[in-house]
Structure 1
Amino acid sequence: MAQANITSDMMGQSFPHPDKWKWYHYFTFNIDHKVIGIQYLVTAFFFYLVGGVMALVMRSELATPSADLVDPNFYNAMLTNHGTIMIFFWIVPAAIGGFGNYLVPLMIGARDMAFPKLNALAFWITVPAGLMIIASLFFGGAQAGWTSYPPLSRITANTAQSMWILAITLVGTSSIMGAVNFIVTIWKMRVPSLKWDQMPLFCWAMMATSILALFSTPVLAAGLTLLLFDINFGTSFFDPAKGGDVVMYQHLFWFYSHPAVYLMILPIFGIMSEVIPVHARKPIFGYKAIAYSSLAICLVGLFVWVHHMFTSGTPPWMRMFFTVSTLIVAVPTGVKIFSWVATLWGGKLRLNSAMLFAIGLLAMFVLGGLSGVTLGTAPVDIHVHDTYYVVAHFHYVLFGGSVFGLYAGLYHWFPKMTGRMMNEPLGKLHFVLTFIGTNLTFLPMHELGLKGMPRRVAMYDPQFQYINIICTVGAFLLGISVLPFIINAIWSWRNGPKASGNPWNAKTLEWTTASPPIIENWNVLPVVTEGPYDYGHTPEPTEVSSS
């Protein structure tokens, strides 16, 4: 038997572990941050496939104006759970739990997260929560959409609606646990030679994300708890007939759920700031501006939620204030966009799969951001509220933004996680299919919204059918686009060319250890001797093969 090593958490407790993890350790309550990161990524991708199947069911229904494929109530359940799964069980856990857990300790020179047991518990809370969402379909499915506004959520209340609320509350609890862990880890566990102004931008993004989660998530938990009491125990927090206030629920929900957009995109911004300079072979442009803009988004993002409520009886002064705050939040986001473009300008670009998805994200997110600016202004928002223009906007931001960023990160750090290189031709095929499918699916939805087609409906005016057929074809192309990635990931994990410790010739600390890293990351903790993006200051080593 291999001699056990010892790792410790900040409380001084010690945990024995073997020299190398076996495959079955990934199905256990493991406290290694790298194992937990992989657990998050694989679990989140499973839920991505589940949510994707639900999307294809809905798009198949919408190929014709009448409800002739699935029962309208089942369509409502698909709609509710698709949005819920994609946000709470795919993007958030993959970006924060997956990449955050795997990379943050490696990037700051730590052996693990500050609280390993809490870290593992945060993951294992999400698993029953996700299974509860899927199981709710066998109880009629939650019918009120992913926002679950009362009175609709009370009128249609069933066992599935209560399961939905409990699942989201569990995910919120996991998010709070993770936020505390990330803040303490980044603040207290960096190697002494790593100063704040040398810290990788992904860690800055994770710090901002964690602060935002700590402020906003408890508010959502409070609102959902009150709604659960209204549904099951006869209270009237949101029942106007008994003195309740339905608009108050909207405030509680959106105080979290608009910052949730930044919880999904800030870690992706961090991934972009790591991928682009490595594959452009240039120092990142505006390091401090990018770092501080993450904190600015964290702050301003807490004061924009009412732009979701411009049609909810919002007084004019409030519309004006939140229009302005919504436009202001675009400024730090624009700082990042311009910095990435400036980094690309004049660089020695390696157009591999990771870089293609990063550049694709720039195009998708800029388009989604422009439509977001229009939606942030009260007159336009009132006109297109609850139409497919909104659906187009947030899919360009969250799919064209977050999902493209997740793919960029997966291709970039796959060699570090597995010790194997991915197949580039398959990766480029994956990118082309995803890029075409995304635009074919969501670009026509802008026209649907401007012409007045409402979202969240299974039946619609026949004049919209032609555009919906185009969107449905695009959706199936998006579904097909996942296949090259799955084949690539499984084949490469088992048979791909072996990767060196630093196949991309990168500068951040995670590339100073083996691929994959040893259990405690380093035999001797690293010492920072140069900046994380100091490319071009010394002669470049020989380029790696990407085949």
Structure 2
Amino acid sequence: MTQTQLQSPELPVNHGAHPEKWKWYHYFTFNIDHKVIGIQYLVTAFIFYLIGGLMAVAMRAELATPDPDVVDPNLYNALMTNHGTIMIFLWIVPSAIGGFGNYLVPLMVGARDMAFPKLNAIAFWLNPPAAALLAASFYFGGGSQSGWTAYPPLSLVTAPTAQTLWILAIVLVGTSSILGALNFVVTIWKLKVPSMKWDQLPLFCWAILATSVLALLSTPVLAAGLVLLLFDLNFGTSFFKPDGGGNVVLYQHLFWFYSHPAVYLMILPIFGIMSEVVPVHARKSIFGYKAIAYSSVAICVVGLFVWVHHMFTSGTPGWMRMFFTISTLIVAVPTGVKIFGWVATLWGGKIRFTSAMLFALGLLSMFVLGGLSGVTMGTAPFDVHVHDTYYVVAHFHFVLFGGSVFGIYAGIYHWFPKITGRFLNETLGRIHFVLTFIGTLATFLPMHELGLQGMPRRVAMYDPQFMALNQICTIGAFVLGASVIPFFINVLWSWGFGRKAGDNPWNALSLEWTTSSPPAIENWETLPVVTHGPYEYGFNEEDGTSVKSGTAAEPSA
């Protein structure tokens, strides 16, 4: 079958290749359907979210008092290390890229599936063994205790067996990321329908494309650093051993060359989700389409040149501090372009305060807060004073929890009717939003003050003067933990018994809404022909329906 045939709008469905509808047990198998793989990513990622969240609650319970009265300090270190590891590598990245990316990208570009379906399935099935290795690290070595950064020499002398298993787990996850990124680039580049111009590509696809290029460039560098660390641990080499002539700062460069772009791997797909949710629920064309699209590319490029701002206290020379301070401030510009575009889209729109829109608005406020503290830490004179304090923890969680997690929730509420054909319950959705919003502010806002007062992060015991603020943070963490209860009740009940949504309940214009909800196994009987852009609300004169008037269906409570 030639490439031309793959892109032909007249290509019929191959009914003999698949059953008419997947059974429930197909979702537990090696399935090459991109939609099945997307759901597999999302469900497993939410399981890891619960595990990582329980670790966070345990840590916050310990930090309610200055003394180690809940968990042993060594166990605290293991919980802290694996909480960060799970939340980044097994929750945000797999759900944002693997889950939403796999489910939506082929639908959005008019393709039957991903370019390499079997490779796509392999990429997913590398994640469960990685999770098993992390679990095994607790059984065989008490868990890795060197933090999610695994800095030597600490990572070379604490729990070597657990650290080895941790490294192997991250290498597997990194391999999965590389395979998935390659698949996304080829799918978007080669399989979008011929009638779709580049300036008609949904902004979510632009974000996934930029994310994938960034992953292909940066992930191998982390893998190389971890393999060298593995050799130091097990085979007597001295790449990072100071007493053997190794250089510990070299590891930091290898780690952060990936791990700061990893922030964009987590947030760029969320920016893409925002660019889909906001115009649909504001019933208004996206403001500055090209600026938002190209800003994703700009973040991809500039994001590769900011990693040293994590190392301002590692003996970096003055010229390097100056260069990376400037590059860090520059990378805030394309992010600001996106935020301006979303706010301008909201201005004058017919906003429907659905659960999806509430989480999108929550993301906007949280990310701005996190961005402001990020700008302060990007400047070397300030960073050297708050480095490794709770100020960093506050910034990091406002950006990644307040940004990524709010965006994931917005995407779930927005595309749940597409995935299942049913609405989520709006009353439970609003309860979920309120608890999440309050819990996030209560947990992480006081950490700014803790950091400015000098409380170090990654410690189980602290000076009693910090106890009052820590107790506020702990109460907030319990509220945040409780917030998932209405969400999971909502998902489980609505999936089976929720109100039916129809094929396009939001009256959206992007291609994924032109097929049935849930979609057929091969997406369309014949591939669609693109006649207008994905955000032309109010401009398509041939369609005189509710898309133009802004009277799309409102889900009931």
Bin the TM-score by the shorter chain.
Answer: over 0.9
SS of the equivalent of 2:17 reads strand
Deviations 1:12-39 (A, max 9, x none): xx99321110000000000000000000
Specify the alignment match of 1:127 in structure 2: 128
Identity of aligned residues (%): 78
Mapping 1:504-515, distance limit 5 Å: 504-515=506-517
Q: How far 1:513 sits from its partner (Å)? A: 0.3
Please name the residue that 2:10 is paired with.
none
Q: Partners in 1 of 2:18 and 2:450 — Cα distance?
A: 56
Match of 1:52 in 2: 53
Q: Post-superposition shift, 1:394? A: 0.5
1:191-232, Cα deviation, whole Å (9 max, x unpaired): 010010000000000000000000000000000000000001
Q: What are the Cα deviations for residues 321-371 of structure 1, in whole angstroms up to 9, with x where unaligned?
A: 000000000000000000000000000000000000000000000000000
How far has the Cα of 1:157 moved from its partner?
3.6
1:245 paired to 2:247: yes
C-alpha displacement of 1:543: 2.7
The residue number in structure 2 matching 1:39 is 40
TM-score, normalising length from structure 2?
Answer: 0.95
CA–CA separation in structure 2 for the residues paired with 1:448 and 1:301: 29
Question: What CA deviation, in whole Å up to 9, does each residue of 1:304-328 have, x standing for no partner?
Answer: 0000000000000000000000000
Give the counterpart of 1:206 among 192, 205, 208.
208
The answer to whether residue 231 in structure 2 is matched with residue 229 in structure 1 is yes
1:4 corresponds to:
none
Give runs of aligned pairs for residues 271-310 of structure 1, distance below 5 A: 271-310=273-312
Q: Which residue of 2 aligns with 1:82?
A: 83
Q: Show the counterpart of 2:114.
A: 113
The alpha-carbon deviation at position 499 of structure 1 amounts to: 1.4
State the secondary structure of the residue aligned to 1:402. helix
Give distance in 2, aligned partners of 1:136 and 1:157: 9
Partner of 1:173: 175
Give the counterpart of 1:475 among 455, 469, 477: 477
CA distance in 2, matches of 1:243, 1:389: 34
Q: Which runs of 4+ in 1 moved over 6 A?
A: none
| 1:330 is the counterpart of 2:332 | yes
Instruction: State the 1:9 CA deviation.
Output: 9.1
Whether the 8 Å contact between 2:203 and 2:293 is mirrored in structure 1 is: yes
Match of 1:3 in 2: none
**Separation in 1 of the partners of 2:538 and 2:260?**
39
Whole-Å separation in 1 of the counterparts to 2:545 and 2:488: 33
Q: CA deviation at 1:68?
A: 1.1
Find the aligned partners of 2:138 and 2:43 in 1 and give their Cα distance. Answer: 23
Distance across 2 between alignment mates of 1:407 and 1:241: 48
Instruction: State the AA in 1 paired with 2:200.
Output: Q
Query: Does the CA-based 8 Å contact 2:178-2:219 persist in structure 1?
Result: yes
Instruction: Give me the whole-angstrom Cα distance separating, in 1, the residues matched to 2:363 and 2:42.
Output: 20
In structure 2, what is the Cα distance between the partners aligned to 1:131 and 1:262? 26
Deviation, structure 1 residue 158: 2.2
Q: 1:9 touches 1:115 (CA, 8 Å); kept in 2? A: no
Match of 1:493 in 2: 495
Structure 2 residue aligned with 1:393, among 392, 395, 398? 395
Q: Which residue of 1 aligns with 2:100?
A: 99
Partner of 1:16: 17
Q: CA deviation at 1:273?
A: 0.2
- Bigger shift: residues 533-542 or 236-245: 533-542
Q: Which has the higher contact order (CA 8 A, sep 6+)?
A: 2
SS of 2:126's partner is helix
What CA deviation, in whole Å up to 9, does each residue of 1:117-162 have, x standing for no partner? 0000000001110122122112210010000000000011421110
What is the alpha-carbon distance in structure 1 between the residues aligned to residue 59 and residue 6 of structure 2?
46
Question: Residue 554 of structure 2 aligns with which residue?
Answer: 545
What's the offset of the Cα at 1:540? 4.5
Q: Distance in 1 between the 2:412 and 2:94 partners?
A: 14
Paired residues of 1:9 and 1:114 also in contact (CA < 8 A):
no
Give the partner amino acid of 1:37.
G
The separation in 1 between residues aligned to 2:57 and 2:554, in whole angstroms, is 37
Deviates more, 1:126-135 or 1:205-214: 126-135
